[in-house]
Amino acid sequence: MASYQYITTSISYLNGSAHLGHAYELIAADAMARFWRLCGKNVKFLTGTDEHGSKVQKAAQDRGMPPINHVDELSQEFVRLGHILNSTADDFIRTTQPRHIQAAQALWQELEDRGQIYLGNYAGWYSIRDEAFYHESDLVDGLAPTGTAVEWVEEPCYFFRLSHWQQPLLDYYQAHPDAILPKERFNETLSFIKQGLADLAISRTKITWGVPVPGHPEHVMYVWIDALTNYITALGYPDRQNQDFINYWPESLHLIGKDILRFHTVFWPAFLMAVGIQPPKRVFAHGWWTIQGQKMSKSLGNGVSPFELVEKYGSDAVRYFLMREVRLGSDGDFSHEALIRRYNQELANTFGNLAQRVLAFIDQFLKGQLDGQDNVEDPDETVLRTWGQVTLPLLTQLMERQDTYGYLDLIFSQLQSANAYMARLAPWELRKQGSEAKDRMITGLRSLVIFLKDAAILLSPFIPKAAERLLQSLGTGTAGLQDLGLFMYNPSSAPSPLFQKLEERA
């Protein structure tokens, strides 16, 4: 197994507050980063903010603020989002940082030195909302294909020879069919490339809020070439001998939303190939959330603040719901009712109750002691004791394909089986019977204690706080994958419920 893993989220535009979509991506990336750290990999997990371009410039103007003051202030909200979600990102990049401006200009210079850039005139449409250029033939009823408004732009600008990279991109994807997941996004990328790639405008003269083009400061870099570079800025580019660049770039995973697929699977690999850097190993595009069936939008005022959600339900509940409700590549619909239902049924009942029933019983009736005969006879007990070790390779395979949903599904179906086993064991009956029954009880409870520990370890990437509390109740100290299947039980106090049930609204 490769011992390095680089995980990035997209960087958020600073044109408004942090919303559920931003939280979603950060949570998914964090669960992956935590899992790979648990497996002993060296992980670098990057997130940050995209601070240049027309959209951000306009947002600053609307607030009557100089763009730099606007982004200095708003980027802090995204840093805070990471804190409240319990994200373990190793680096937070801002595209206005000197390290990034230097990297973006270096990439430009390399492209120019290799004859990949030429000066021309752009005459076409531009959508500020999408920060994207569109041809006349792309428009649908006068709007961008994404439904956003476009404006006519005519200006001298530099172009990147994207057309040269059509065939190399097709060849690359043919040789690397897993470079883009889910599969439908791979197919979408391929059909886009096959339609033909025109050269790409990569500078603007009508706006000033951007990275100056080296040697031509009347141009600023198109925000996407600037933004995409962030992924290598954080690895020390332009120093290609930087150890982080050498170790992490070959193991890169970009987690993005499906709306920004083309930028990551066409433009970005083309820029990289053009300077002799290999494309990212994997781009995974997640789906979009609606709110009670509607698109989240500022004008509808239906945005859900991740800050309010965490305040109300706690970070574990929000993390769990978003990861559990839909597969990562699919679209999801958010409602408080659905979150509360899942929280109560799965976290509080299936997981929390099992832990509480087992631990409270041992505390109350056995004074926290599980000494005695340990004769495993029942195959269900063997399953509970070996489940963690047996399942780890499957979970690893799922995580290799960013299937966070499948990961949780496997664990929760075993939690249900464990609940059924506890009901069948009925230790409250056995304790009243003779010594043979007591041995059965001890053996059964030990099996459950092993299973609970293993479930806590394996769930820790998703619900780190609850997992930590359960391990504390068990008194395991810090436990990792090497402890799967071991009996570790040394409680120092009476257990307390992992999750308080929430009231369901009528």
> Rule CB under 6 A: which residues touch ligand MSP?
10-13, 21-22, 24-25, 50, 227-228, 230, 256-257, 259-260, 288-289, 296
CA gap 186, 14 in Å, rounded? 29
Q: Which is nearer to ligand MSP, 280 or 495 (CB)?
A: 280
Place of tokens 């870099």: 221
Least distance between ligand MSP and beta carbon 15 (Å): 8
The torsion angles phi and psi of 358, rounded to 5 degrees, stand at -65, -50
Specify whether the CB–CB gap between 373 and 437 falls below 8 A. no
Pairing, β 132-134 against β 117-127 = antiparallel
Q: Which is nearer to ligand MSP, 228 or 348 (CB)?
A: 228
Specify whether the CB–CB gap between 142 and 307 falls below 8 A. no
Least distance between ligand MSP and beta carbon 87 (Å): 14
Least distance between ligand MSP and beta carbon 391 (Å): 29
Least distance between ligand MSP and beta carbon 58 (Å): 14
Q: Which residues contact 1 (CB under 8 A, 6 or more apart)?
A: 39, 41
Least distance between ligand MSP and beta carbon 333 (Å): 10
Least distance between ligand MSP and beta carbon 371 (Å): 51
Joined together, the tokens standing for residue 105 give 């200009």
Least distance between ligand MSP and beta carbon 358 (Å): 37
Q: Which is nearer to ligand MSP, 306 or 495 (CB)?
A: 306
Q: Which is nearer to ligand MSP, 29 or 153 (CB)?
A: 29
Q: Which is nearer to ligand MSP, 2 or 300 (CB)?
A: 300
The torsion angles phi and psi of 222, rounded to 5 degrees, stand at -55, 135
SS3 435: helix
CA gap 159, 117 in Å, rounded? 5
Q: Which residues contact 428 (CB under 8 A, 6 or more apart)?
A: 361
Q: Which is nearer to ligand MSP, 79 or 383 (CB)?
A: 79
Least distance between ligand MSP and beta carbon 256 (Å): 5
Least distance between ligand MSP and beta carbon 88 (Å): 19
Q: Which of 319, 301, 323 is nearest to 402 (CA)?
A: 323
Q: Which is nearer to ligand MSP, 266 or 430 (CB)?
A: 266
Specify whether the CB–CB gap between 52 and 220 falls below 8 A. yes
Least distance between ligand MSP and beta carbon 202 (Å): 14
Least distance between ligand MSP and beta carbon 267 (Å): 10
Q: Which is nearer to ligand MSP, 286 or 440 (CB)?
A: 286
Q: Which is nearer to ligand MSP, 260 or 455 (CB)?
A: 260
Q: Looking at beta carbons, which residue is closest to ligand MSP?
A: 257
Per-residue burial over 390-415, b if 16 or more Cβ lie within 10 Å, else e, is ebbeebeebbeebbbbbbbebbbebb
3-state DSSP of 74-130: HHHHHHHHHHHCCCCCCEEEECCCHHHHHHHHHHHHHHHHCCCEEEEEEEEEEECCC
- Going by the DSSP 8-state scheme, the letter that residue 163 receives in this structure is G
The torsion angles phi and psi of 39, rounded to 5 degrees, stand at -75, 0
CA gap 170, 176 in Å, rounded? 10
Q: Which is nearer to ligand MSP, 225 or 449 (CB)?
A: 225
Instruction: Kindly list the strands in the beta sheet with 200-201, ordered across the sheet, starting from the edge strand earlier in the chain.
Output: 132-134, 117-127, 151-160, 200-201
Q: Which is nearer to ligand MSP, 53 or 491 (CB)?
A: 53
Q: Name the β-bridge partners of 46.
A: 8, 91
